[in-house]
Amino acid sequence: MPAILNFSKYSSIRWSHLLFLVAIFCIASQGCSVSQTAQQANKVLVNKDAPIFDKRFQDISIDDIDLKKFWTRLDDVEGSRDRDPISIDNQTFARISQSVKSAVVNIYTVRLEEKDAKIGIDPNSLLPFNIPIVSSILDFVPFQVPVPFNSEGLSLGSGFLINEQGYILTNAHVISNAIDIRVVLSEEQREYPAQIIGIDRLSDTALIKIDPDFRPNVLPFGDSDALQMGEVVLAMGNPLGFQHSVTSGLISAKERISPHSKDRFVNYLQTDSAINPGSSGGPLINLHGEVVGINTAIIQKAQLIGFAIPINTVKEVMGMLIIGEDERGWFGASATPISNKEAAELELNSSDGLILRGVEKLS
């Protein structure tokens, strides 16, 4: 396992500035991304015994934890507002942005990446000139064998503080396979080393921790179930390395299935608030200043179609994140909703219900 990198060797330039320059280079060259996608983060290259993992809760159970002490509600925040309708003027978004900005963090990581090195000879390089038919044949014949190896890469993303002890929520794919994590707060403009408390790849959520030497601002949790289509929301994060950027939009829809998901565990919030690479892990905020989702994914070839994990889903998996456990019960069968066509073919009175598609052995 590689040792944690010594960031002091970059003493002539701030580490966050270095990553920003790397991000801009990647965008210009289109040679890499500024953060991992959920698919790239699925393979585990750094196990839970690595120094990057904080193991303080590994010997306790979920029943021993008062989960509500890990986050705050709006009622707990000094100067909280009631649920009367909020009048919007030209300063409304500015006031909300200023109230939440200090709790939104930028996350920079050094992570392991699996790559392939080709061992062998490239016959085409030996030809004096290119012969299309011959080159195609030589490309087809496996003269070179791919050999996987691990290398170190840079990544950036976003997150937000949820309590005064320095616990931060983000996406699993932001810090997956990280061997070093640095967090930058807007108020202090200082870099804090962070450790991973827990990762849940199925919901793409993660909990990390810093040790702040001051009392940080935190964001209260809202109720994502209470959101309505058309409700105004703000997204804040670290898109493409531009720290603490804020965008506004609407809740376009609820209970969406992300095109990046291989399962239907998470019913995402869809929003047209601009989300870009590097925004992953940042908060989606309602006009009461509450977090209602974690910005997670976009459709690359579309405009203003983004997805956020509902904060109520995060509340459900918080216990697993705290104790560092991501195993779930296994039903052992697969099923899908009945379509109208299938209901007609089966002569059913309605399309309510499920069709059992398969049963796993030993389940």
State the catalytic residues: 173, 204, 280
* Cα first-last separation, the chain: 36
- CB of 198 closer than 8 Å to CB of 326: yes
Cross-strand pairs, 108: 156, 182
Q: Give the largest Cα separation in the chain, rounded.
A: 78
Q: Helix or strand or coil: residue 361?
A: coil
| Residues 265, 282: Cα–Cα separation, whole Å | 20
| Six token digits for residue 38 | 């959920």
Q: What single string gives the DSSP state of each residue in 100-140?
A: HHTTEEEEEEEEEEEEEEEEE--GGGGSSS--HHHHHHHHH
For 154-188, letters b (16+ CB in 10 Å) and e give bbbbbbbbbeeebbbbbbbbbbbbbbbbbbbbbee
Phi, psi of 317 (to 5 degrees): -100, 0
Cα-to-chain-centroid distance, residue 360? 30
